[in-house]
Amino acid sequence: GLVATDIEDNINLMNKAAEELLGIRFEEASGKSLERLIDSVVPARKPGPPQTARAREFIVEKRDSRSLDGPLRTIKFKLFPAFAKDGEKIGTIALLRDITREREIDLMKNEFISTAAHELRTPLTSIKGFSEVLLAENSFSDEQKNEFLNYIFQNAEVLEKIVDDLFDLSRV
């Protein structure tokens, strides 16, 4: 989406993509302050990456205006100052991008990493525990030692399978 304002921050241009993302028609937004419009249609802002002299960024989450329980959309705003040929600032250009899918993928990735770490920790704990017992205590019978070594080997195989699955996933 694209929104352009004049020097006083009043909206004087809005394309269809911006109308759809914000849930408001250009006719309703024309002449209104961009900042007030954003605050009225999207009350909660999240800071974006560090601001620069050339651009400001922030993220907003907004429900589809057609439904109170509709899907939550994540929109990234990037505001750039607009300059005339003589270098005088004449307004602001706002680029809007729906990053809902990227946000969902990032959440899925984080959840996957958390689950994978947990799945790796379980057999690793067994391997470490049985190894420590074998190293610390010499009074075990050969049968007990073999049983402990068998647990260590089985859990090492589980770890190997998990790591192989992770490599397969990374290739996909």
Question: What's the pLDDT tens digit per position in 57-112?
Answer: 888 887 765 556 667 888 999 999 999 999 999 999 999 999 999 989 988 888 88
3-class secondary-structure state, position 28: helix
Is 44 a residue whose pLDDT tops 70?
A: no
Query: Average pLDDT, whole number, for the chain?
Result: 85
Structure token digits, residue 100: 């809902």
Q: What is the pLDDT of residue 128?
A: 92
Q: Could you tell me if 10 and 26 are in contact, meaning their C-beta atoms sit under 8 angstroms apart?
A: no
Structure tokens at 123: 């057999």
State mean pLDDT over 132-137.
86
CA distance 121 to 124: 5
Whether the Cβ atoms of residue 73 and residue 63 lie closer than 8 Å to each other: yes
How much is the pLDDT for 102? 92
Instruction: Give residue 154's pLDDT.
Output: 93
Instruction: State the average pLDDT over residues 125-148.
Output: 88
Check whether 116 has a pLDDT greater than 80: yes
Strand pairing report for 2-5 and 72-83: unpaired
